[in-house]
Amino acid sequence: MTGRHQTEVGGVILAAGRSTRYEPGNKLLATTDGTAVVRQVAETASQSPMSDVVAVLGYEGKAVAAALDGLSLSLRHNSDYATGQSTSVRHGVEFARSAGWDAVLFLLGDMPFVRVETIETLIETYRTGSATIVVPTHDGRRGNPVLFDSCHFDALASVSGDRGGRDIIETNEKTAFIEVSDPGIHWDIDTAADRAEFTDRRDGL
């Protein structure tokens, strides 16, 4: 399967978690440069070549939705968010199927430093090659976001707990690991110290 130039690639922002390690409150609502973390993720997604974006909300869903107000994206609520990230992945897959997407890019709502150029690279790799999963790497370590072709939707819908799509990535023969010059693919904010550290690192680049 090659030459997918006309394919529809959509984005799913996983933004339903409880932020249990973030001492001040909800990490998605914490700010860097005066903008909520989750909004920065959504703004980057909106600037990319993806055809559409949906944010899957859960914990403090109304407040997170308010942080995304005015952006061109859809919202979907996951009432089972407390049982793990896999439930949000399933919601994303259901949306992708209903929208007729050929592939989905899963973005984490607590990773605001991923560059739009990284998303462009992942989509271009998918559209011009034969890989059915595309994973970014930096300094030899893989990160997020990750793109999945629709042939993996059934498998993604059946995952459980917080494993997400990792098992699928590890067992798929057509996974492409693409080195990018973007340390942001590793910078997920779990604590207030993370937010300060990664902001300083980004500003120092």
Cα–Cα distance measured from residue 185 to residue 198, given in angstroms and rounded to the nearest whole number: 11
Q: Is the separation of the CB atoms in 146 and 169 below 8 Å?
A: yes
Predicted pLDDT of residue 160: 82
Predicted pLDDT of residue 163: 65
- pTM, rounded to two decimals: 0.94
Computed over every residue of the chain, the mean pLDDT equals 94
Q: Where are the domains of the chain?
A: 9-204
Cα–Cα distance measured from residue 81 to residue 76, given in angstroms and rounded to the nearest whole number: 12
Beta strands in 58-109 (DSSP E): 74-77, 103-108
pLDDT-derived band at 63, boundaries 50, 70, 90: very high
Predicted pLDDT of residue 1: 46
Query: Higher-confidence residue: 6 or 30?
Result: 30
Which CATH code of 2.60.120.260, 3.90.550.10, 2.40.50.1020, 3.40.50.1470 fits the domain covering 9-204? 3.90.550.10
Query: Higher-confidence residue: 92 or 33?
Result: 92
Side-chain-side CA neighbours of 173 within 13 Å: the count stands at 0
pLDDT digits (tens, 9 = 90+) for 120-164: 999 999 999 999 999 999 999 999 999 999 999 999 999 887 766
pLDDT digits (tens, 9 = 90+) for 44-56: 999 999 999 999 9
Side-chain-side CA neighbours of 32 within 13 Å: the count stands at 24
Predicted pLDDT of residue 164: 65
